[in-house]
Every structure is written in C-alpha cells, then in structure tokens.
C-alpha cells in the first residue's frame, strides 16, 4: 500500500482527481443495516463511470484496497472500520432503461425500487424478490433469491469495470452463479446489468408482491437493525430451525441478540458493537455444530476483519 496512505497528500491528490463526494474517516454505521462498523479511511460517491474509473486506476497503481458498500444490507463491518476506500454507487450509477422486455439497471439502483418499477411496467420474473434489501449490484454479488427465484434467472449480461478502468461485458454463462453466490471477482466492480423480463399483468404482479411482503413481515423481525439471514441454508435443512432447536433464540452478547421471531436473524437491540455480533455468530456456529454436526456457512459478508474464521 502507498506509504502516504491515508495521509494528507493522498487525500489532496484524490480531491483533484475525482469529481464526486469524497470524505475522510467516514463512519460506516449509517451505511450498514446492522448499524455497526468503524470508519473508512475514505468514502467516495462517484458521479458516473468516468469518475469511478479514475478512482480505480489510482487505487490499483498504489495497491490501496477498495470496497463497494451498496446498501450495507448483508455486511458486518468491523469496529475498526476499513483501511482503504469505500465506494457507494447509489448516486452516480442508478440508471434504468426499459426497451420492451429488455431492461438495463445500474448497480447503484435500489432493488426494492427497481422491482416496483418493473411491476408498474408489467414486467415480471423477479417479483418474488420483493423485500430483499440492497442494491442491484449487491443482489448480483449474492445472487439474491427468495421463494424459489433468483436474480440470475432473468439475467442476460453484466457490465463490469476492471482495475484499470476498462469496462467489459460478461454474459450470464461466464459467471458461476450458485446458491447465494454471484459475481464476486474482487478486482472488478459491477456497473450495470441487463435482464430479459417476462410480459406480465401489473395487477397480478402487485398482488404477488404484496402477499410476499405480508409473509416477510409475519415471519421476520423487521423492526430492529439486522442484516437479514446470517447463515446460508444448509443442504436439506434450515439454519433458523437448527439455531432454534439448539436453544439459542433470545441468546444475547452485549447489545446483539438472536431474534425470537426468526432464529437466523441477529438483531442490534441495544447499541451492539460489531464484535458483539461476531461473538454471537461464533457462539451459534459452535453450538449448532456440537448439537447437530452441521457447520453453518455465513451469508453475511465480513468487512475489515483480521484473522477471523
């Protein structure tokens, strides 16, 4: 990493180079749905692709880490924060273009807003994803899915930016999608996606979305800060059921607590720290493994942690 990082000269260099909003030592608490996390050395909101390309070239030449935060809906950022640049694409890369059944959406667009826009335009195929928090970019990173649907079902291609600022288009077949596994190449950033949607009845789509949203509200703890499902579904089992059967509902570490409504959610109930949440994750994994011989795999992404399992 550049020895001047993140000292004043590096910040001034980037100030001159970039056009978007650039902030030093930005707390990441307000950018994560857990409402935890320390500061990023620099926080950047590019105005457009060219602005992002300028940053990418700068950090690559100096070996400075970067991370795209999206809506922070599936992240556990450490209390120490992130050494490097955190990039938020919601301001500059949120375009939406609709041509018949072909739809192109910027990675900074919010998934919830995108799905309602599809419903208003009588375009179906992804309506069952309603209620999943996050951006289009985050959804592609995780191959977001629910109720038997995944965002990759309708995907045609993804525009990505390489470390040198070059933009390339990847067809769906070039990306090894799987269960909660999407486009995860660490040296590239998703810019936009192109989808092939299905002609559908708008009223039917809205009815389906409303019903799924009611089901989510009835089964998930949505009134407290969380990051959604903490663990992936083990083959042939459900993480929440295993956690509940291990007697862990309501278990607390500091301000972090296992939800009594859905055991695969950890809630920030009383000013939890990221370390509280991580310690509770370790406790859950240990207890479930000892009880059932199942090793739960994290669905939450760890950011800024050193020497973690």
- Give catalytic residue positions: 180, 229, 299
* Contact yes or no for 304/38 (Cβ under 8 A): yes
Which pair of tokens denotes residue 86? 């955190």
How many Å apart are CA 285 and CA 71, to the nearest integer? 26
Enumerate residues 6+ apart whose C-beta is below 8 A from 281. Answer: 76, 230, 266, 298, 300
Do you find a cis peptide bond into 35, omega within 30 degrees of 0? no
**Nearest 5 degrees, angle CA 140-CA 300-CA 304?**
100
Phi/psi of residue 275, nearest 5 degrees: -65, -40
Strands (E), 107-231: 123-124, 145-146, 149-150, 155-161, 167-171, 189-196, 198-199
- Residue tagged 């309501």 (tokens): 250
How many Å apart are CA 90 and CA 100, to the nearest integer? 25
């Amino acid at each position: 990493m550049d020895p001047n990082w993140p000292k004043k000269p590096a910040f001034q260099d980037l100030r001159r180079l970039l056009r978007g909003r650039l902030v030093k030592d930005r707390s990441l608490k307000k950018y994560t749905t857990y409402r935890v996390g320390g500061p990023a050395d620099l926080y950047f909101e590019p105005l457009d692709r060219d602005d992002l390309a300028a940053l990418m070239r700068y950090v690559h030449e100096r070996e400075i880490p970067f991370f795209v935060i999206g809506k922070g809906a599936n992240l556990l950022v450490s209390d120490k924060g992130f050494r490097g640049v955190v990039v938020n694409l919601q301001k500059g890369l949120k375009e939406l273009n609709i041509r018949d059944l072909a739809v192109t959406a910027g990675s900074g667009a919010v998934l919830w807003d995108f799905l309602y826009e599809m419903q208003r335009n009588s375009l179906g195929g992804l309506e069952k994803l309603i209620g999943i928090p996050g951006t289009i970019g985050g959804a592609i990173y995780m191959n977001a899915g629910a109720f038997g649907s995944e965002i990759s079902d309708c995907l045609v291609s993804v525009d990505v930016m390489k470390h040198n600022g070059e933009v390339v288009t990847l067809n769906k077949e070039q990306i090894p999608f799987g269960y909660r596994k999407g486009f995860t190449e660490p040296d590239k950033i998703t810019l936009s996606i192109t989808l092939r949607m299905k002609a559908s009845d708008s009223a039917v789509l809205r009815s389906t979305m409303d019903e799924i949203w009611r089901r989510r509200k009835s089964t998930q703890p949505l009134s407290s800060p969380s990051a959604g499902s903490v663990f992936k579904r083990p083959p042939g089992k459900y993480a929440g059921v295993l956690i509940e059967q291990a007697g862990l509902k309501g278990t607390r570490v500091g301000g972090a607590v296992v939800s009594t409504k859905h055991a695969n959610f950890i809630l920030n109930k009383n000013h939890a720290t990221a370390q509280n949440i991580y310690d509770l994750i370790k406790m859950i994994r240990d207890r479930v493994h000892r009880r059932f011989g199942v090793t739960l795999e994290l669905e939450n992404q760890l950011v800024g942690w050193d020497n973690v399992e």
